[in-house]
Amino acid sequence: MAYESVIDGQIYVFEADYGEELETARIIVRSAAGGPEGLFFVQRDGALEAADDLPGFGPNPVAADGLWPLPPAQAIEDAQRMAEQKGLDD
């Protein structure tokens, strides 16, 4: 599921998905301003890790520090459930 947030006047879309990584899910962040996408990994325990240094992802083009805003709690919860389901397949 995707969640839209307005943060510091910018529109961001956060989308949780299963991803390719083992035992983690991912949240992809897109800015309405365009540019590269951000990426967060979510562990089964809900721990969040920025991963926009992977190929195909990059810094936030509208933030002076290049950091992506943290995903909303609902997106993290969705991704955590996905990571838990992946862990059951082991």
pTM of the model: 0.91
Token digits of residue 55: 């190929």
* Residue spans of beta strands (DSSP E) within 1-90: 2-7, 10-17, 24-31, 38-43, 48-50
Residue 19, domain extent: 2-88
Q: What is the pLDDT of residues 30-52, one digit of tens each?
A: 999 889 999 999 999 999 999 99
Question: What confidence score (pLDDT) does residue 89 get?
Answer: 60
Residue 30 CA to residue 82 CA, distance in Å, equals 20
Domain count, the chain: 1
pLDDT band for 22, please (50, 70, 90 cuts).
confident
Question: What confidence score (pLDDT) does residue 23 get?
Answer: 86
Question: What confidence score (pLDDT) does residue 90 get?
Answer: 53
64 exposed, middle or buried (CB, 10 Å; 0-12, 13-18, 19+)? exposed
Q: What is the pLDDT of residues 52-87, one digit of tens each?
A: 999 999 999 999 999 999 999 999 999 999 999 987
